[in-house]
Structure 1
Amino acid sequence: MLDLAAPDLGIGGQSVSAVAVLLRDEALSGFRFARGRGLPYIGISTGIDEIGPEVAAFMQDPTRSTVVLGTEWLVGATSVTTLALARRFSRVDDIRIGLLLDDEDQGGPAQVSDLEGLTNAPPAALTRRNGTYVWRSGEDARTSFRAVDGTQMDAIAISPNDILALAAATDAPNVEINLATGMSSSRRRGERMSTEIVIELRGQDDAGRPLATRHAVVHPQGQFPLTGLGVAMVLERCLAMDGRPPAPAGLYFPCQLLEPASYRTRLEEIGGRILVLEAP
């Protein structure tokens, strides 16, 4: 049992290679422990409006260790796939991502609390519109998107770190991410619940012609296998367990560390798929 109030987290001299914080840690106990020992660190529950303390602490000694701001939706499943799909474009104008979380796809009390915070009293959500970052709230944050099976789902705007990562990597002037909870497409077919990430891109191809694509990342066991995959691959990258030199000390998003082809291979190995859908 960890003791988050203790400087050593209650583990004494036990050897530790890296630290992954999977729940909210307002005191930054895991972060401070990792930095104190010069260990790679990933946190996956710090919201886009809460990253200041981690970033400020990193800036005090940026060469000490690798820090990964892992609060991308399902730790890379969204951003890594979107950036791979964007390679078909010479210019990306619009990135619109719809996240469908089945209402049977729930974990422990901490995860349920985080979800209730997003859906019952959602904070303002960061979105990029016409090249400007804006905060959506109230009615402006309410929208809808089509699930994999074409069902229109009511949704609310949210802003995981994918918003920042995708806008910075593609310079797309319009980037938004919306979350719906309810029955997933697979459950409407009479199968077990699944998780869906619907990715719509618009822009131009290499010949300057309009191009629009629509894909989905799905997993028949819900959100948790994808979250676990992302955390595992980030730690492997930081610790050089993937056969390459370790990631240099620095501040990263998962999509800056994970190679798309390797990610897709591992995704498919654990039962996930990337579907090609009818373009918008």
Structure 2
Amino acid sequence: MTQLISEPILLMGGTGAIGRLSARALRTVYPDVTLLIGGRDLVKSRQVASEIGQAESVVIDPRADDLGLGDRRVGAVAVFYADERLAGLRFAQGRRVPHLSISSGVYEIAPEVATYMHSPNAAAIVLGYEWLVGATTVASLACAKAFSKIDKITIGALVDEQDGGGPAVTEDFERLSQMMPAALTRRDGSYVWRSKDDAKAEFRAIDGTKLEGAGFSSIDVVGLAAATGAPNVQFNIATGVSSSRRRGGPKSTEIIIELAGEDHDGRPLRTRNAVFHPGGAAPLTALGVSMIIERLVGLDGSTPTPAGLYFPFQVLDHATYLSRLQAEGGSIVPLDVE
């Protein structure tokens, strides 16, 4: 593959679990791209940079306009934690380089949207808050090809009890659960907030086990509604034992995708599929992050993503994503319709 840029990719929070996995995913496909592992602890950043190879450690100063990097050139910025100051975004817009953030909730996007509106031609901004950064939407849109019209999309994300991720992931979940007790949902064409009993949900795992869950305000809801026109879209989440671990194997991650509508002959159609990754949520997230960065800066030899405001599924190449998912042992699994 032809690499079109020489500037390094800045990974803010690159010492965390998702940051490390994303760096390794980029390194696997692009061994020569330079990565800047940014964090608060220089010793830890140096350790991670050494592990990754072809990487440098930097200490991030979120209060400085230059993040403490001075005149150091950067090709793109990826942020792996809740950046309340928008330090990474301000830096990226000032340098006119692409920006990806994955930790905000749907209620927190206003500052990033406002920043984009102020300088819409600066560079690409990706709202990377889809569940596992594109895994849900790319798979849902692939499954949607069997339909001429979609009336209902129901997503069920299963988080294995042993799949906690790193400290930043834990902080994100705690923050989002406190700030978003109601679940953004599209119902009969209107956007509503499910709460209390209305937010309760249940769905079945890949192996058929019934799971008790609750509505979750994922930006996947609005992204899929806009992309498909479906008047009913909801996202639910449950914590429990993944199907692979129930069989005696290691933990995995599952995303159940249920679609209802009409096929291309106008007949009623319902499908049920699952996104599966044997490594759990973190490597699946890293796959999306690394591939978005790849497309933002044109590492794959294609034209870099132009300035704009994007969902992950608008940036990712879907065929390549599904191919790499399969190469990692993951897949879209057809399930029986209940």
For the aligned pair, the TM-score class normalised by the smaller chain equals: over 0.9
* Maintained 8 Å contact 2:132/2:288: yes
Higher helix residue share: 2
Aligned counterparts of 1:12 and 1:120: Cα–Cα separation in 2: 37
Tell me the TM-score normalised to structure 1 length: 0.97
What's the secondary structure of 2:158's corresponding residue?
strand
- Indicate which of 20, 24, 29 corresponds to 2:78: 20
Deviation, structure 1 residue 125:
1.2
Aligned counterparts of 1:121 and 1:246: Cα–Cα separation in 2: 35
Query: Quick one: structure 1 residues 120 and 4, their matched pair in 2 at CA, closer, same or farther if it must change by over 3 Å?
Result: closer
Deviation, structure 1 residue 67:
0.5
- Indicate which of 45, 52, 58 corresponds to 2:103: 45
C-alpha offsets along residues 11-61 of structure 1, whole Å, 9 cap, x if unaligned? 222221100011101110111010010010011111111100100110011
Deviation, structure 1 residue 140:
1.1
Pairing 1:147–2:183 present: no
* Maintained 8 Å contact 1:118/1:158: no
* Maintained 8 Å contact 1:119/1:156: no
**Structure 2 regions of 5+ residues with no counterpart?**
1-58
- Indicate which of 172, 181, 187 corresponds to 1:129: 187
What's the secondary structure of 1:226's corresponding residue?
helix
What's the secondary structure of 1:10's corresponding residue?
coil
Please name the residue that 1:174 is paired with: 232
C-alpha offsets along residues 141-189 of structure 1, whole Å, 9 cap, x if unaligned? 1111101111111111112211111000001010001000111111111
Please name the residue that 1:4 is paired with: 62
Which piece of structure 1 moves more, 246-255 or 7-16? Answer: 7-16
> Which residues in structure 2 correspond to 1:49-198 (within 5 Å)?
49-118=107-176, 122-198=180-256
Deviation, structure 1 residue 218:
0.8
Aligned counterparts of 2:256 and 2:103: Cα–Cα separation in 1: 22
Deviation, structure 1 residue 260:
1.8
Aligned counterparts of 1:84 and 1:242: Cα–Cα separation in 2: 22
How many correspondences in the alignment?
A: 280
Q: Which amino acid aligns with 1:240?
A: G
* Maintained 8 Å contact 1:225/1:270: no
Tell me the TM-score normalised to structure 2 length: 0.81
Aligned counterparts of 2:292 and 2:183: Cα–Cα separation in 1: 26
What's the secondary structure of 1:49's corresponding residue?
helix
Aligned counterparts of 2:80 and 2:168: Cα–Cα separation in 1: 10
Deviation, structure 1 residue 115:
2.2
Aligned counterparts of 1:132 and 1:40: Cα–Cα separation in 2: 33
Aligned counterparts of 2:208 and 2:176: Cα–Cα separation in 1: 24
Aligned counterparts of 1:8 and 1:88: Cα–Cα separation in 2: 48
* Maintained 8 Å contact 2:180/2:217: no
Aligned counterparts of 1:6 and 1:248: Cα–Cα separation in 2: 27
Please name the residue that 1:212 is paired with: 270
Please name the residue that 2:88 is paired with: 30
**Structure 1 regions of 5+ residues with no counterpart?**
none
Deviation, structure 1 residue 245:
1.1
C-alpha offsets along residues 207-236 of structure 1, whole Å, 9 cap, x if unaligned? 110111111111111001111111111111
What's the secondary structure of 1:213's corresponding residue?
strand
Q: Which amino acid aligns with 1:103?
A: E
Query: Quick one: structure 1 residues 120 and 189, their matched pair in 2 at CA, closer, same or farther if it must change by over 3 Å?
Result: farther
- Indicate which of 291, 298, 309 corresponds to 1:233: 291
What's the secondary structure of 1:204's corresponding residue?
strand
Pairwise CA RMSD: 1.3
Aligned counterparts of 1:248 and 1:80: Cα–Cα separation in 2: 20
Q: Which amino acid aligns with 1:213?
A: T
Aligned counterparts of 2:174 and 2:109: Cα–Cα separation in 1: 20
Aligned counterparts of 1:150 and 1:233: Cα–Cα separation in 2: 32
